[in-house]
């Protein structure tokens, strides 16, 4: 294959074409380049790259490979920030120019939007190995099926010769004027080796534009990367050691020599990865149309709303509080769901915090016949307090004539809540006796429904049946709901309510 | 169908209906449920969900997908949005449509995860570099989280510009009934996109204009579309403003508390009405001025130290006194607190 490629070029050289202005074209430019660089402005016939710059060669290798693969119409080139920011002047393919360092991120999304197209990112060393280190590592690690061409010339070119992450130890730049000192600037970054530690990439090679032999190797590497992408193989990466005569302060010939003598010993040429990678493709989500998705949601919601039920309130604000893990937030959600099914406007607003142990949790539930203004219940008519801390914290907020459902057998001796009626129920103990402390919140719900009659227990069961898939748990919930209600009936009957004063509503 | 739904999840349900099939994001409280819902729903309907390595990567993935012409979105909260600002500037400069959701939390810095409205300047005035605008809508309910997300996609495509859904931790975390019916929403053709096809081969997505004249011309064209948006896309809601002596102004969660406070104040005979901007950019300045001129004075309430109030003052051109009341740090005023502020402005007629 490589020999054929060499022959092709020789053939081109053998057939010089005469042009009208007397010049002879000894080697025609790839059809993949624009014939004239209109986007560049006035000087349409030459690139903006300096004499002896490696970008021209790298461009040529890529363009010829794309042309030979016949994918010009299928190609999207992502150009970076740096000297090759203007790659779109030259490549007659779809072009996307992106922010500094982010080409692999943009290419990721382009490839996923156009999975059967050829997407390549072309980046320099500042772009890829400094500001964009995270993007290249993660695109490679995800195994994005893109090709990344990394032009490493050990210096920042476009900004005028500052130190690059790949600048050699001792190499002078405008920002390492004494030569790169590892004690201050660290060592050169070896991107090909770094990426080769990842599982997903299928092909990683470092090549150099130091002499014709190495350029031909680079040519093969570029082709191989693009062919692998065409075949859907996976992430491909070619690092190209490239001359920058202008900034290095060398003539083009010396610059090439410098690659051979200085860069290659630091950045050894090698194929770091060339293997097929089997990526497991399991846990595939079922495919649905949007209409089917909405249908599924409808089924999950279940039957239409219940016939309108009479509610004795215009608006009811409920606050529920306890420890995280007691089912505080869930109880609020169940009440909101029930209210919705009974034709009310509802809102549920949680306290939310970092996910950590032993936090307190509370939520606000509004049930209303009208559009709900504030979902924040600052003066609850009903407080459901699972523990003493919550009771002490929120009891004073309860509106005059309001109700408190307290999840303990009795109020603390020192606490007086004159404005509200307090109902005590040892919910955890009742839940434990039923067989699971988990249903304490449903015991509390039973007490709440029995005491306030704000929503129907039948609706509660309808919602629980929808939400609780495990039949054993559902049976426990049914018992818990009943137990909460019975306890309230019983307690009221024997006059054990702590503060009889609060009864008047 | 009415379903009880979380605000952050409603965003994704709206996005699915809007034909969005690409989500690139990074988790952050209190916005993470947006990404979680996208991870659940998008793959099912043939879309893409990728958890990016950072918000910087997310927004540049959004840039890539938008370049290919697909409806794409991301969501985050304050600190994440700060990281995205460079990308948003690029998106605006390259005229790429996308939807970005900011579920605001307390700042500056790490701040906290409780609700604030302190990203107003960053989102409305443009937190990134250069002359550009974001199209910004501000939902105040779970239903609007879905509906305004759909609208945001339409606006983004119509003006080829990033659109922001600016909300807060409370609206994102709360649950309310969501009415969602299937309907076909077709995204417009995007002949400018780069899709790796013969027809789009000559297309180029870029925000570079090296020549000053070229960049000026580009910016003039952008300005022209922003002027069109200002004429066509202002949205707001009024409540009991016809006879209001005092006009209260607030958006998002604050407008909900204000609405309750207005009801309470009316019970006491205080004539107060509510003006709620729904589009924050373009700001409904003309409508606000017309409404405010019927009142004696204006009270602006925000979960900030005074950001939107600047736009209210600009809109009113000094024609009515504007008072400001703000809570910050994640504190959301209670109805009673705002009622007291209203009473301060307008002692009840005896």
Query: Within a 10 A sphere around the Cβ of B181, how many other Cβ atoms?
Result: 8
- Tokens for A438? 């988990």
CATH assignment at residue B167: 3.40.50.970
Q: Any idea which architecture A313-503 has in CATH? A: 3-Layer(aba) Sandwich (3.40)
Has residue B137 been placed in a domain? yes
B299 and B207 part of one domain: no
User: Residue A263 carries which DSSP code?
Assistant: I
pLDDT at A298: 85
- Domain boundary (B232, B252, B283) is at B232
To the nearest whole Å, the CA of A119 is away from the closest chain B CA by 8
pLDDT tens digits for B101-121?
999 999 999 999 999 999 999
B16 and B51 part of one domain: yes
CA contacts within 13 A on the Cβ side of B160: 18
pLDDT at A303: 66
- B45 and A374: CB-CB below 8 Å? no
- Phi, psi dihedral angles at A348 (to 5 degrees): -130, 125
Exposed/middle/buried for A117, CB within 10 Å: 0-12, 13-18, 19+? Answer: buried
To the nearest whole Å, the CA of A214 is away from the closest chain B CA by 31
- B182 and A379: CB-CB below 8 Å? no
Closest B-chain CA to A89: B204
Q: Say how many domains are in chain B.
A: 2
pLDDT at B324: 98
The residue assigned the tokens 């149309």 is: A289
Question: What is the residue range of B278's domain?
Answer: 237-345
The ipTM, to two decimals, is: 0.96
pLDDT at A12: 47
- Tokens for A400? 């005059």
B178 and B253 part of one domain: no
> Which member of A134, A135, A347 has the closest CB to residue B174?
A347
Number of residues written out for chain A: 505
Residues in CB range of A284: below 8 A, 6 or more apart: none
> Which member of B22, B203, B334 has the closest CB to residue A376?
B334
Nearest one of B309, B253, B302, B300 to B274, comparing CA atoms: B300
Closest B-chain CA to A355: B29
CATH assignment at residue B338: 3.40.50.920
B267 and B226 part of one domain: no
Question: Coil, helix or strand for A361?
Answer: strand
B interface test, pick of A79, A85, A106 with most B CB neighbours within 10 Å: A106
To the nearest whole Å, the CA of B29 is away from the closest chain A CA by 8
End-to-end CA distance of chain B: 47
- Tokens for A173? 């730049």
Radius of gyration over every alpha carbon of chain A, rounded to an integer in angstroms: 36
pTM recorded for the entire structure: 0.94
All residues of chain B having their beta carbon less than 8 Å from the beta carbon of residue A76 are 68, 194-196
B6 and B147 part of one domain: yes
- B181 and A294: CB-CB below 8 Å? yes
To the nearest whole Å, the CA of B224 is away from the closest chain A CA by 24
- Tokens for B171? 């609206």
Has residue B151 been placed in a domain? yes
B100 and B116 part of one domain: yes
Query: Within a 10 A sphere around the Cβ of B229, how many other Cβ atoms?
Result: 19
Mean pLDDT of B300-327: 98
- B60 and A105: CB-CB below 8 Å? yes
Task: Answer whether the bond into residue A369 is a cis peptide, omega within 30°.
Answer: no
Q: Which CATH superfamily is domain A2-274 in?
A: Thiamin diphosphate (ThDP)-binding fold, Pyr/PP domains (3.40.50.970)
Nearest one of A339, A190, A378 to A272, comparing CA atoms: A190
pLDDT at A484: 97
Domain ranges across chain A:
2-274, 313-503
- Tokens for A229? 């992408």
> Which residues are registered as beta bridge partners of A382?
A318, A403
Q: Is the separation of the CB atoms in A266 and A210 below 8 Å?
A: no
Has residue B350 been placed in a domain? no
Q: How far apart are CA A465 and CA A345, in angstroms?
A: 22
Q: How far apart are CA B259 and CA B250, in angstroms?
A: 9
Q: Is the separation of the CB atoms in B303 and B119 below 8 Å?
A: no
Strand B204-205 vs strand A94-97: parallel, antiparallel, or unpaired?
parallel
pLDDT at A41: 84
pLDDT at B69: 98
Nearest one of B306, B271, B274, B299 to B140, comparing CA atoms: B274
Closest B-chain CA to A96: B205
Would you list the DSSP string of A301-326? Answer: H-SPPPPP---S-SEEEEEEEEETTS
Helical (H) or strand (E) element with A122: strand A118-124
Closest B-chain CA to A289: B45
Nearest one of A135, A122, A126, A132 to A80, comparing CA atoms: A122
> By the CB < 8 Å criterion, does B201 face chain A?
yes
- A110 and B68: CB-CB below 8 Å? yes
Closest A-chain CA to B214: A41
The mean pLDDT values, 10 residues at a time, for chain A of 505 residues are: 43 52 73 93 90 97 98 98 95 98 98 98 98 98 98 96 98 97 97 98 98 98 98 97 97 97 98 94 91 88 69 96 92 97 96 71 96 96 96 96 96 93 96 95 98 96 93 96 94 48 35
Q: How far apart are CA B77 and CA B110, in angstroms?
A: 11
B224 and B246 part of one domain: no
Task: Give the pLDDT band of residue B186 (cuts 50, 70, 90).
Answer: confident
Q: Is the separation of the CB atoms in B84 and B74 below 8 Å?
A: yes
> Which residues are registered as beta bridge partners of A347?
A366
B212 and B253 part of one domain: no
- Domain boundary (B175, B209, B232) is at B232
pLDDT at A495: 40
Closest B-chain CA to A134: B53
User: Residue A180 carries which DSSP code?
Assistant: B
All residues of chain B having their beta carbon less than 8 Å from the beta carbon of residue A134 are 53-54, 56-57
- A340 and B177: CB-CB below 8 Å? yes
SS3 per-residue string spanning chain B: CEEEEEHHHHHHHHHHHCCCCEEEECCCCCCHHHHHHHHHHCHHHCCEEEECCCHHHHHHHHHHHHHCCCCEEEEECHHHHHHHHHHHHHHHHCCCCEEEEEEECECCCCCECCCCCCCHHHHHCCCCCCCCCCEEECCCCHHHHHHHHHHHHHHHHHHCCEEEEEEEHHHHHCEEEEECCCCCCCCCCCCCCCCCCCCCCCCEECCCCCCHHHHHHHHHHHHHHHHHHHHHCCCEEEECCCCCCEEEECCCHHHHHHHHHHHHHHHCCCCEEEEEECEEECCCHHHHHHHHCCCCEEEEEECCCCCHHHHHHHHHCCCCCEEEEECCCCCCCCHHHHHHHHHHHCCCCC
Has residue B160 been placed in a domain? yes
Has residue B288 been placed in a domain? yes
pLDDT at A42: 84
Q: How far apart are CA A420 and CA A401, in angstroms?
A: 5
Mean pLDDT of B187-204: 97
Task: Answer whether the bond into residue B30 is a cis peptide, omega within 30°.
Answer: yes
To the nearest whole Å, the CA of A472 is away from the closest chain B CA by 25
pLDDT tens digits for B140-181?
999 999 999 999 999 999 999 999 999 999 999 999 999 988
All residues of chain A having their beta carbon less than 8 Å from the beta carbon of residue B262 are 373
Radius of gyration over every alpha carbon of chain B, rounded to an integer in angstroms: 20
Mean pLDDT of B297-312: 98
* Segment 26-55 of chain B within 8 Å of chain A by CB: 29-30, 41, 43-46, 48, 50, 52-54
pLDDT at A25: 62
Q: How far apart are CA A68 and CA A71, in angstroms?
A: 8
All residues of chain A having their beta carbon less than 8 Å from the beta carbon of residue B177 are 340, 345-346
The residue assigned the tokens 């504007």 is: B322
Ranking A155-169, A489-503, B78-92, B247-261 by mean pLDDT, the lowest is A489-503
- B332 and A41: CB-CB below 8 Å? no
- A109 and B61: CB-CB below 8 Å? yes
Residue burial A442-456, b: 16+ Cβ < 10 Å; e: rest: bbbbbbbbbbbebbb
- A74 and B53: CB-CB below 8 Å? no
To the nearest whole Å, the CA of B273 is away from the closest chain A CA by 13
Q: Is the separation of the CB atoms in B203 and B66 below 8 Å?
A: no
- A99 and B86: CB-CB below 8 Å? yes
To the nearest whole Å, the CA of A178 is away from the closest chain B CA by 33
Task: Give the pLDDT band of residue B37 (cuts 50, 70, 90).
Answer: very high
- B174 and A350: CB-CB below 8 Å? yes
- Domain boundary (B232, B250, B283) is at B232
B111 and B219 part of one domain: yes
Question: Coil, helix or strand for A53?
Answer: coil
Q: Is the separation of the CB atoms in B59 and B87 below 8 Å?
A: yes
Query: B8 pLDDT exceeds 50?
Result: yes
Q: How far apart are CA B288 and CA A219, in angstroms?
A: 65
B199 and B250 part of one domain: no
Q: How far is CA B162 from CA A285, B62, B226, in A?
A: 30, 10, 12
pLDDT at A302: 76
List alpha helices for A407-504, DSSP H.
Answer: 427-434, 440-452, 457-467, 471-493
User: Residue A91 carries which DSSP code?
Assistant: B
Laid out side by side, the sheet with B175-179 consists of: A421-424, A403-406, A382-385, A315-323, A360-368, A345-350, B175-179, B2-6
Nearest one of A128, A140, A137 to A82, comparing CA atoms: A128
């Amino acid at each position: 294959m490589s020999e054929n490629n060499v022959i092709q070029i020789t053939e081109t050289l053998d057939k010089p074409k005469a042009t009208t202005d007397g010049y002879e074209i000894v080697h025609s430019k790839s059809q993949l380049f624009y014939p004239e660089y209109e986007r560049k402005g006035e000087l349409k016939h030459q690139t903006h790259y300096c004499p002896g710059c490696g970008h021209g060669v790298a461009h040529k290798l890529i363009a010829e490979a794309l042309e030979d693969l016949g994918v010009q119409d299928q190609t999207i080139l992502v150009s970076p920030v740096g000297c090759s920011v203007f790659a779109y002047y030259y490549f007659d393919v779809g072009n996307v120019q992106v922010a500094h360092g982010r080409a692999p991120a943009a290419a990721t999304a382009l490839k996923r939007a156009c999975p059967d197209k050829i997407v390549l990112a072309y980046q320099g060393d500042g772009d890829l190995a400094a500001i964009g280190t995270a993007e290249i590592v993660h695109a490679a690690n995800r195994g994005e099926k893109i090709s990344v061409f990394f032009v490493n010339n050990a210096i920042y070119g476009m900004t005028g010769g500052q130190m690059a992450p790949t600048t050699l130890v001792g190499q002078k730049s405008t920002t390492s004027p004494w030569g790169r000192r590892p004690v201050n600037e660290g060592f050169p970054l070896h991107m090909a080796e770094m990426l080769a530690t990842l599982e997903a990439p299928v092909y990683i090679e470092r090549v150099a534009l130091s002499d014709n032999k190495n350029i031909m190797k680079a040519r093969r590497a570029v082709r191989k990367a693009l062919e692998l992408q065409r075949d859907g193989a996976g992430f491909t990466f070619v690092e190209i050691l490239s001359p920058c005569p202008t900034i290095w302060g060398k003539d083009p010939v010396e610059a090439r020599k410098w690659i051979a003598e200085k860069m290659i010993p630091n950045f050894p040429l090698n194929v770091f990865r060339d293997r097929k990678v089997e990526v497991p493709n399991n846990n595939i989500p079922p495919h649905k149309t949007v209409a089917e998705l909405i249908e599924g949601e409808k089924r999950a919601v279940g039957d239409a709303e219940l016939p309108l039920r009479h509610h004795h309130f215009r608006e009811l604000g409920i606050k529920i509080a306890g420890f995280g893990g007691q089912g505080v937030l869930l109880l609020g959600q169940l009440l909101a769901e029930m209210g919705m099914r009974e034709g009310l406007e509802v809102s549920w607003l949680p306290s939310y915090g970092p996910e950590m142990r032993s936090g307190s949790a509370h939520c606000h539930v509004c049930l209303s016949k009208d559009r709900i203004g504030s979902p924040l219940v600052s003066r609850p008519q009903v407080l459901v307090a699972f523990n003493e801390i919550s009771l002490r914290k929120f009891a004073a907020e309860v509106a005059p004539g309001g109700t408190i459902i307290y999840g303990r057998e009795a109020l603390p001796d020192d606490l007086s809540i004159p404005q509200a009626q307090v109902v005590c129920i040892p919910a955890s103990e009742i839940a434990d006796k039923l067989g699971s402390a988990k249903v304490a919140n449903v015991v509390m719900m039973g007490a709440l429904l029995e005491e306030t009659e704000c929503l129907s227990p039948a609706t509660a069961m309808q919602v629980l049946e929808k939400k609780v898939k495990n039949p054993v748990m559902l049976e426990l919930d049914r018992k818990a709901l009943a137990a909460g209600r019975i306890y309230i009936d019983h307690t009221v009957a024997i006059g054990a309510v702590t503060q009889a004063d609060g009864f008047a509503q | 169908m009415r379903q009880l739904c979380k605000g952050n999840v409603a965003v994704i349900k709206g996005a699915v209906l809007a034909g969005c099939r690409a989500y690139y994001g990074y988790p952050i409280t209190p916005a993470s449920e947006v990404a979680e819902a996208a991870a659940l729903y998008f793959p099912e309907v043939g879309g893409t969900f990728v958890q990016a390595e950072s918000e910087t990567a997310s927004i540049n993935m959004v840039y890539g997908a938008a370049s290919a012409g697909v409806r794409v979105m991301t969501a985050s909260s304050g600190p994440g949005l700060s990281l995205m600002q460079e990308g948003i500037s690029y998106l605006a400069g390259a005229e790429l449509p996308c939807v970005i959701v900011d579920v605001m939390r307390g700042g500056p810095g790490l701040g906290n995860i409780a609700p604030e409205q302190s990203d107003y300047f960053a989102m409305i005035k443009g937190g990134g570099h250069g002359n550009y605008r974001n199209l910004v809508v501000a939902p105040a309910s779970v239903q609007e989280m879905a509906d305004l997300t759909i609208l945001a996609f339409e606006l983004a495509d119509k003006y080829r510009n990033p659109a922001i859904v600016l909300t807060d931790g409370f609206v994102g975390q709360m649950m309310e009934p969501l009415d969602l019916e299937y309907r076909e929403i077709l995204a417009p053709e995007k002949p400018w996109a780069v899709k790796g096809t013969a027809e789009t081969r000559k297309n180029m997505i870029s925000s570079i204009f090296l020549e000053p004249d070229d960049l000026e011309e580009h910016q003039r064209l952008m300005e022209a579309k922003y002027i069109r948006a200002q004429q066509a896309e202002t949205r707001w809601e009024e409540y009991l403003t016809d006879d209001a002596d005092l006009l209260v102004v607030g958006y998002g969660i604050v407008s909900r508390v204000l609405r309750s406070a207005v009801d309470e104040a009316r019970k006491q005979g205080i004539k107060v009405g509510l003006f709620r901007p729904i589009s924050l950019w373009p700001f409904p300045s003309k409508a606000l001025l017309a409404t405010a001129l019927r009142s004696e004075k204006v009270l602006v309430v925000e979960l900030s130290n005074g950001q939107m109030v600047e736009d209210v003052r600009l809109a009113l051109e000094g024609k009515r006194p504007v008072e400001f009341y703000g809570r910050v740090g994640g504190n959301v005023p209670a109805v009673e607190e705002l009622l007291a502020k209203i009473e301060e402005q307008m002692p009840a007629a005896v």
